[in-house]
């Protein structure tokens, strides 16, 4: 039997937590979504976009179930305090394998938090979520694979605990719902505590004072038609090494043309860059003008720039 290649099901953003006996709730982990396939003694790991990232995470290769299966979950790196660290995870994200990946697995290990079972010797995506979770509970998951803990009914209590610990948020999943590969469904609802946006870098301002020679801020945008819609600038969240490395990279991408739509609030003395880089930014809220309030840079992601649109990432998404 050939195992299908599944695209991950996506959750619909939801503004506030709720409690409902018709729903299951779990923590939303701050990591990288991945589909893991195990068959015949071999393991493959694919990113949300379908890229094969197996070589970058050698510690996940020890999973050998008694029959073919496909898991959906999140690759997470934890810091010394046991908190998810996307910064630490970035050290692992661009490794393709070999000695560097093996050494990284030793110094910056990851955990694969499993929250769904898509295939267990048969396709389970049309089965209710309760059935999939029951089947998953019968599978022995060796470390560093762990099951996501599900809470019944008490979404608001879980959200309060998540907020107290500074975690990213929660996900609510409707009882009886099937798994819909590649679909953003209202049967899954993500309620953020920490708000995250992916945004395209379209330019930067030159740094002053202690940042002279590097950069002051990155100008961020979302595709809205053929040009970027400016959503603000981010100047915090960088250490000195990151500032130097990012500026060197940006120097290779400069262009004389602005990729942004005309906007009177765009910073003056901006250096434009070819809009290929995608930044991951934490922020408090969207302003009425469609800008990010209190943004903080959290790193770059490998997602294609053309997928980072106003419709996909903008307010209410």
| CATH number of the domain enclosing 120 | 3.30.470.30
Domain match, 124 and 75 both = yes
Phi-psi region of 137 (alpha: psi -120 to 50; beta: other; left: phi over 0): alpha
Is 4 a member of any domain?
no
- Tokens for 27, please give them: 């923590």
207 assigned to some structural domain: yes
Please check whether residues 110 and 203 belong to one and the same domain: no
| 184 and 245 within one domain | no
Residue that is last in its domain, among 144, 170, 192? 192
Task: Express as a percent the part of the chain with pLDDT over 70.
Answer: 99
Total count of domains within the chain: 2
Q: By C-alpha distance, which of 28, 280, 2, 300 is closest to 148? A: 28
DSSP state, residue 29: -
Tell me what pLDDT residue 244 has. Answer: 93
Residue span of the structural domain in which 306 resides:
195-313
Helices (H) and strands (E) in the chain, counts: 6, 18
Q: Which of 177, 192, 207 is the last residue of a domain?
A: 192
Q: Which residue has the tokens 């003056």?
A: 268
From 150, 176, 192, the end of a domain falls on: 192
Do residues 151 and 214 share a domain? no
Residues 186 and 202 in one domain: no
Burial tier of 48 (Cβ tally within 10 Å: 0-12, 13-18, 19+)? middle
- Helix (H), strand (E), coil (C) string for 48-62: CCCCECHHHCHHHHH
Question: Is the predicted pLDDT of residue 317 greater than 70, yes or no?
Answer: no
Which of the four pLDDT bands, split at 50, 70 and 90, describes residue 310? very high
Q: Are residues 148 and 214 in the same domain?
A: no
Residues 203-227, mean pLDDT to the nearest whole number: 94
Residue 59 contacts residue 144 (beta carbons within 8 Å): yes
Dump pLDDT digits (tens) for 241-288. 999 999 999 999 999 999 999 999 999 889 999 999 999 999 987 888
CATH number at residue 213: 2.40.50.140
Which residues does 310 contact at the CB level (< 8 Å), separation at least 6?
222, 223, 224, 229
pTM of the model: 0.74
* 89 lies in some domain: yes
| 242 vs 248: CA distance, rounded Å | 10
DSSP state of 259: -
Average pLDDT of the chain? 93
Could you list the active site residues?
Answer: 28
Give the model confidence (pLDDT) of 132-184 as tens digits: 999 999 999 999 999 999 999 899 999 999 989 888 899 999 999 999 999 99
Q: How many CA atoms lie within 13 A of 67 on its CB side?
A: 11
């Amino acid at each position: 039997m050939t195992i299908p290649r599944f695209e991950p099901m996506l959750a619909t953003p939801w503004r506030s937590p709720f409690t409902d006996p018709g729903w299951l709730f779990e923590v939303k982990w701050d990591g990288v979504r991945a589909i893991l396939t195990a068959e015949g003694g071999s393991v493959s790991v694919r990113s949300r976009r379908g890229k094969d990232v197996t070589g970058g995470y050698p510690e996940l290769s020890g999973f050998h179930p008694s029959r073919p299966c496909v898991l959906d979950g999140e690759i997470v790196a934890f810091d010394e305090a046991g908190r998810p660290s996307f910064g630490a995870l970035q050290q692992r994200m661009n490794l393709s394998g070999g000695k560097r990946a093996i050494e990284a697995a030793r110094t910056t290990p990851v955990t694969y938090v499993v929250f769904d079972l898509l295939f267990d010797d048969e396709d389970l995506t049309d089965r209710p979520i309760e059935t999939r979770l029951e089947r998953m509970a019968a599978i022995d998951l060796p470390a560093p694979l762990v099951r996501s803990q599900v809470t019944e009914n008490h979404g608001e209590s879980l959200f309060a605990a998540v907020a107290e610990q500074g975690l990213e948020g929660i996900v609510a999943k409707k009882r009886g719902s099937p798994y819909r590969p590649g679909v953003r469904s209202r049967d899954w609802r993500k309620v953020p505590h920490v708000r995250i946006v992916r945004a395209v870098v379209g330019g930067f301002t030159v740094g002053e004072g202690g940042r002279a020679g590097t950069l002051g801020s990155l100008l961020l945008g979302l595709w809205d038609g053929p040009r970027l819609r400016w959503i603000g600038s981010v100047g915090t969240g960088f250490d000195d090494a990151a500032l130097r490395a990012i500026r060197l990279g940006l120097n290779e991408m400069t262009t004389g043309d602005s990729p942004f739509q005309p906007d009177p609030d765009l910073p003056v003395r901006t250096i434009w860059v070819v809009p290929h880089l995608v930044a991951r930014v934490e922020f408090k809220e969207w302003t009425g003008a469609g800008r990010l309030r209190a943004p903080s840079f959290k790193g770059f992601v490998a997602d294609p720039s053309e997928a980072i649109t106003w419709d996909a990432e903008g307010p209410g998404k």
